[in-house]
Structure 1
Amino acid sequence: MVKYNGYNKDELIQREFGMKIKEDMALVNARVLPPPTLKYHDTGREKSENPRMGHWNMINKKMVNGGRVDFWACVNLSRLDPSFNFRFCDDLVNMCNSKGVHFHPQPLIPHQSAHPGQIERVLRDIHKMSRKKLEESGHKGKPLQLLIIILPDVPGSYGMIKRICETELGIVSQCCRPRAASKLRKQYLENLSLKINVKVGGRNTVLTDAIQRRIPLVSDIPTIIFGGDVTHPQSWNCNHPSVAAVVASMDWPEVTKYRGIVSAQAHREEIIQDLYSIKQDPSRGLVAGGMIREHLIAFRQATGLKPERIIYFRDGVCEGQFSQVLLYEMDSIRKACQSLQEGYLPPVTFVVVQRRHHTRLFPTDHRKTDQSGNIQPGTVIDTQICHPTEFDFYLNSHASIRGTSRPAHYHVLFDENKFTPDALQMLTNNLCYTYARCTRSVSIVPPAYYAHLAAFRGRYYIKGEYSDGGSSTGSTAGGARGAGGVTFRALSEIKENVKEVMFFC
């Protein structure tokens, strides 16, 4: 490309700037980290897996901790024949049970079919019928655990469905596209079972090193891993706020289950504003809150332990905002900890994950590549093209399906836990194999990935409050005031039972 564009023949570059552009790519030294061993359930024919080239499969394996689905329902919003509901649900239930999910064979209420124009009505009817049925069967107060939804043939209703289910009815849902569902392919049903399991509180797999407590600076003391991200609306759309999300691991030492919270903030504000907050309550006075504080309390309730170490992966920050984001968000983390107990200051490691860069890596030995000709999963570079004094590295943790793979760039902005480069690189690479939605290692560390998914989900909650024309009137959500007195529209609150599971998967 350099030769084709003829940069060295450009007089402006040579005469005005005195630059010469080398036509050969730079050679850098790299290492390939070994993949981790993954633990599956002992009742499966294969109890563990050693991934090769960043991917594996679920053949002869069962989820390491299968969730339990006792109360579920199904609704078909597509043009598929209503009788298809029975075939699809039977095959899906059988697949889930074969993979270790304890899935009751019969739905709580009969299968439903509805016109796409009646989505809100049918969802509310299902919620009402489910509550009545649960009360009649002596399970008053228990929620419908899962609603399987075959989406309409015409796209556009997914966001509304998720908003109604997760913020109004408190229903965890699994949406299925009619075109994919109608084929009843085994691979598709297997992928659905992975998502369903984590949505009902199960774990698909865990790192063997985590079970055996051999992960440095994670397994020795209770450690919570956070992921944070902010999604922004289009720059011209000033009516819509940005959406921040923070997820946190809720199990230790496995560090596989994550809990997610979303929050609206001022338009195109990159710093997460609601990590820690103090609000005035008419009856209680000043009340401490915020996403970090809520997650720390939830971790204590889930594990019975107080986090003694924090690792925070922050997605989507450019170099020009490093110091600003670090200063504000570290201060919020400190205040959230102090609000729980005087003197509670667990050591923090603050890592920024960058995906939007132009660095590409190519193998010099074409015998040592993945199936698509890219560098191997686990390739890490921490010299030559990295900062000479700061702690950063490039990690290609995934096998690209097509095209040139893009490594993630990790910047360690603050490290009280004193990670060595090898320890943090190995931890980051190993975590990339625990992503719940597929049997592949992913390109960025899962906490940051989950935060991105949760923040994107939060955009649906906002869009549901606006009309198609973009009017800001007629909202059911209250307004909020951000930094600098900027008013923005608050998000609808996610129901507690939904928040406790990985609803964003």
Structure 2
Amino acid sequence: MQRASLVEKSRQKPQERIKTVNEAVRSYCYDEDPVLSSCGISIEKQMTQVDGRILDTPKLKVGNSEDCIPRNGRWNFNNKTLLNPTSISKWAIVNFCARCDISHISRELINCGRRKGINIERPHTLIEEDQQSRRGSPLARVERMFELIREKLPGPPEFILCVLAERKNSDIYGPWKKISLSDFGIVTQCISPTKINDQYLTNVLLKINSKLGGINSLLAIEHSSHIPLIMDTPTMILGMDVSHGSPGRSDMPSVAAVVGSRCWPLISRYRASVRTQSPKVEMIDALYKPLANGNDDGIIRELLVDFFQTSKGHKPKQIIVFRDGVSESQFNQVLNIELEQIIKAYQHLGEVDIPKFTVIVAQKNHHTKLFQAGGGTENVPPGTVVDTKIVHPRNYDFYMCAHAGMIGTSRPAHYHVLLDEIGFSPDDLLNLVHSLSYVYQRSTTATSIVAPICYAHLAAAQMGQFMKFEDFSETSSGQRSMTSVGSTPVPELPRLHENVEGSMFFC
């Protein structure tokens, strides 16, 4: 309750935020501060006026090659179908004590799927957890549920819908995802419904369709293969993020996730590779991981091989890297440590010609806010870009507010271009970054930061759940899987089953 109250108090509309800032500047009396005066520092009484521009909204393609034009950073699938809907024939629903009618959920999901173009057969079975199983540990409950699935189905299902009692922080979620993704290789979707309606079910189906290999929508320029500098040259896009344990948990390994684009020339399909590393370490150390036998067990090799296999034998000649979560003091480390590992992984595959790289760091943890001039009461419109006056005098950086701020005051993403060997023009790069905020398959809104980074964050968070129950590092032989970094052993995450390793399981 305290946290909810704090969040509510901090949600200020733009005009309220401007008023608060102006009152603070007046009341703090900076002009009378002797330290600031002696250093020759003065604080302006008015906010800085900057020139901004609004980029054109990317057009999308949905089912039947129909155009979909987002308005104010949002769109919907009302009276529309998904661009490339999948079909689900062999599936099941399991219920972990949630108080809901799963047969009703089944019927409504099938009906909604039909309207969106997804052909969903009746579920093979509906399984309710029994009273006795509920008294077991979360891991025991999940194992028992999979025993029931094996008993009631003639073979492994394509998909399982899992109904949980708790909407957040469910003890079942971690072991359920670990066993389904790592041990059995089955795509699952967890839900905890409070109100079943078309909008809720459509959002669930967007995730299910993406996980099963379907495509909900594409950029129109992507659909017609007209993306500047990408359509003619095989280009791979990487999103990189590291998730750290909660404060006070210094023993919890950090989780590094990298997603890589696949099926070039598309930029909407991604595969994730995730590893653990030493706690609180931000630089990813498993991008290139040579083994004693001469093989490379690193993240980048996995993504490069996948790109080659899904892009008709093309090897990436250009690689665009989006890195999240690093401060300005770590920019050189990104280039000297992480980029160097990516190059070594590429060379390890026997390649001599190194791809051209564009490396961009995205930051959200800053205090810069953009307001409309002339006392506008709303947030700046989606697509707003500022790349003058408040940016670095020598380096290439810009602020972009791609999303529509519905609550509070929008915080733009701050992008720093550390390296641009590809040679994007400023307009082409801005439009690419803006477009990548409209390819997020989980929702029908533009994201505040590019989708590859959102996906890397989701992949790290989901597989990080594997560590939240006691048996996460047990392998099938019962031996703990550990890797040693320095003198500290770090438990390894179990690898994904081959059936799901190429899927967008994190959606």
Same fold? TM cut 0.5:
yes
Q: Map Cα deviations across residues 177-213 of structure 1 (whole Å, 9 max, x no partner).
A: 14x2xx2121111111111110111111001101222
The answer as to whether partners of 1:211 and 1:253 remain within 8 angstroms in 2 is no
Cross-structure match for 1:250: 262
Structure 1 residue ranges, 4+ long, deviating more than 6 angstroms after superposition: none
Cross-structure match for 1:386: 391
Distance 2:480 2:412 in 1: 40
Cross-structure match for 1:402: 407
For the structure 1 residues 476 and 375, does the alpha-carbon distance in structure 2 shift closer, same or farther, using more than 3 Å as the test? farther
Cross-structure match for 1:358: 367
Cross-structure match for 1:470: none
Distance 1:431 1:260 in 2: 17
Shift of 1:476: 5.7
Q: Map Cα deviations across residues 218-275 of structure 1 (whole Å, 9 max, x no partner).
A: 1112211110000112453221111100011112222111111110001111111111
Are residues 1:202 and 2:214 paired?
Answer: yes
Distance 1:210 1:494 in 2: 29
Cross-structure match for 2:425: 420
> Could you list the runs of 5+ residues in structure 1 that have no partner in the other structure?
468-474
Distance 2:242 2:408 in 1: 27
Are residues 1:161 and 2:176 paired?
Answer: yes
Are residues 1:27 and 2:27 paired?
Answer: no
Cross-structure match for 2:230: 218
| Residue type of the alignment partner of 1:317 | V
- Within a 5 Å distance, the mapping from 1:74-473 to structure 2 comes to 74-80=93-99, 84-104=101-121, 106-115=122-131, 116-118=134-136, 120-121=139-140, 123-125=142-144, 127-128=146-147, 136=154, 143-153=156-166, 155-157=169-171, 158-178=173-193, 180=194, 183-280=195-292, 285-304=293-312, 305-365=314-374, 373-465=378-470
Distance 2:123 2:47 in 1: 60
Shift of 1:296: 0.8
Distance 2:32 2:192 in 1: 52
Cross-structure match for 2:68: 49
Structure 1, 251-260 or 189-198: larger mean CA deviation: 251-260
> Percent identity over the alignment?
38
Shift of 1:70: 2.0
Distance 2:447 2:84 in 1: 21
Shift of 1:127: 4.0
For the structure 1 residues 132 and 221, does the alpha-carbon distance in structure 2 shift closer, same or farther, using more than 3 Å as the test? farther
The answer as to whether partners of 1:275 and 1:329 remain within 8 angstroms in 2 is yes
Partner secondary structure for residue 63 of structure 2: coil
Structure 1, 90-99 or 299-308: larger mean CA deviation: 299-308
Distance 1:358 1:257 in 2: 32
Partner secondary structure for residue 498 of structure 1: coil
Shift of 1:491: 1.3
| Residue type of the alignment partner of 1:407 | P
For the structure 1 residues 59 and 338, does the alpha-carbon distance in structure 2 shift closer, same or farther, using more than 3 Å as the test? same
What is the TM-score when the length of structure 2 is the normalising length?
0.88
Are residues 1:479 and 2:482 paired?
Answer: yes
The answer as to whether partners of 1:241 and 1:488 remain within 8 angstroms in 2 is yes
Partner secondary structure for residue 168 of structure 1: helix
What is the TM-score when the length of structure 1 is the normalising length?
0.89
Cross-structure match for 1:472: none
Structure 1, 162-171 or 108-117: larger mean CA deviation: 108-117
Distance 2:51 2:498 in 1: 48
User: Superposition RMSD on alpha carbons, in Å?
Assistant: 2.2
Cross-structure match for 1:493: 495
Count of residue pairs the alignment pairs up: 474
For the structure 1 residues 354 and 107, does the alpha-carbon distance in structure 2 shift closer, same or farther, using more than 3 Å as the test? same
Partner secondary structure for residue 487 of structure 1: strand
For the structure 1 residues 117 and 379, does the alpha-carbon distance in structure 2 shift closer, same or farther, using more than 3 Å as the test? farther
For the structure 1 residues 333 and 504, does the alpha-carbon distance in structure 2 shift closer, same or farther, using more than 3 Å as the test? same
Partner secondary structure for residue 330 of structure 1: helix
Distance 1:24 1:39 in 2: 44
